[in-house]
Amino acid sequence: MEGLWLVVLVIFVMALSVQSQLKTGFYSTSCSKAEAIVRSTVESYFKKDPTIAAGLLRLHFHDCFVQGCDGSVLIAGSSAERNALPNLGLRGFEVIDDAKSQIEALCPGVVSCADILALAARDAVDLSDGPSWSVPTGRRDGRVSLSSQASNLPSPLDTVAAQKQKFSDKGLDDHDLVTLVGAHTIGQTHCQFIRYRLYNFTTTGNSDPTINQSFLSQLQALCPKNGDGTKPVPLDKDSQTDFDTSFFKNVRDGNGVLESDQRLWDDAATRDVVKKYAGTIRGLLGLRFDIEFRQAMVKMSSIEVKTGTDGEIRKVCSKFN
C-alpha cells in the first residue's frame, strides 16, 4: 500500500512540476513593466487592425506544437520553422519584435520571446472581448527551429481521429481540442484552403454534403471556382472580430468553414463539447467557454517549456544569440 501511495505522489509531483517551473509574475522584480509593454504594443496594432488578434493567437499555438512553447516559430531563415508549409500564413511577428525591442531597451537579456508571445496571445483574446487570464511566465527560448519538424501541426484536412492524436501527443485531451479550436471564433482562412469543399470534395466534382446549403451558396459567392485563392474568409461567419460562442453554433448548424472544424460534429466525444458551448442559454454557456478556454490556454502554453538553464534569452526574437 505504501508503495502505491509513493507512485501516486510521484505522478502528482511530476504533473505539478511543469506548472511550477513557470509562475505568474515571474518578471515582477526583474522587469516589472514587461507585461504592460506587451499589452500596450498589442493594443496599438489591434487598434489599426483587429484581425491581428487571431494572428497572434495562432502564432502562439503554432509555436507550442513544435518544440514546445519556446519561441522557435519566431526564428527567420530558409530552413526555419516559420517557413514550413503549415506556417506560411502566420502573422504578427512584427508585434512580438516591437514589444521585444522596447523590453530589451529597459531590461536587456531578461524577458524571453516565448513569454512575450504567450502574453501577447492572452492580450489579443482580451482585446477581442474574450476572457483574460494570468499567464504563468519563465519560459526560455529554444535554440532549434527546423521547418522539417512542423509536420505534426494540426491541418484543416485532418480527420477528428488525426486531430485527437496530435493534441493527445502534446498532453491535451478531446475537451481541450474543442475548446482551443474555439479560437477560430476570431480567425480567418483563405479561399484556396476551402475551395475543394465547395466544388470538388473527395474529387467527386460535388460539394461537401456536410455544408449547410444556404451557407454553401454564400461561400461559393465569396470564393468563385477560378477566383483569387488568397481572398480571406472569416472562420466565424457571424462575428469575426468578437471572441464568443457563435463558432460552435456554426459547427452545429453545418456552417463550419474548415473541414477539420466541421468534422468535430461527426465524433461523439467532440460533438458533446461543441453542443455544450453552442447551447441556447447564452450568458451561462458563453461564461463556461470563457472559463474553460482560459484553463486550456494555460495548459497548452505549458507544453514542453524550457526553464531554468535550458535554452537562452534571445536578444532579437528572429535570431538565435
| Average pLDDT by stretches of 10, the chain with 321 residues | 51 48 96 98 97 96 97 97 92 98 98 98 97 97 96 92 96 97 94 94 89 96 94 92 93 96 96 89 67 96 96 98 96
Check the annotation: does 148 bind a ligand.
Answer: no
pLDDT value, residue 211:
96
**Active site (annotated) includes residue 60:** no
Report yes or no: 140 and 23 within 8 Å, Cβ to Cβ: no
The domains found in the chain, sorted by start residue, are 33-150 (1.10.520.10), 160-300 (1.10.420.10)
Contact residues for 278 (Cβ-Cβ < 8 A; gap 6+): 245, 248, 249, 251, 252, 285
Backbone angles phi, psi at 319, to 5 degrees: -145, 150
Check the annotation: does 236 bind a ligand.
Answer: yes
Residue with cell 489599426: 48
pLDDT value, residue 284:
56
How many whole angstroms separate alpha carbon 121 and alpha carbon 105?
Answer: 22
pLDDT value, residue 269:
95
pLDDT value, residue 204:
79
> What nine digits make up the cell of 163?
486531430
Check the annotation: does 244 bind a ligand.
Answer: yes
How many whole angstroms separate alpha carbon 188 and alpha carbon 202?
Answer: 23
Check the annotation: does 70 bind a ligand.
Answer: yes
Q: Cα–chain-centroid distance for residue 160? A: 17
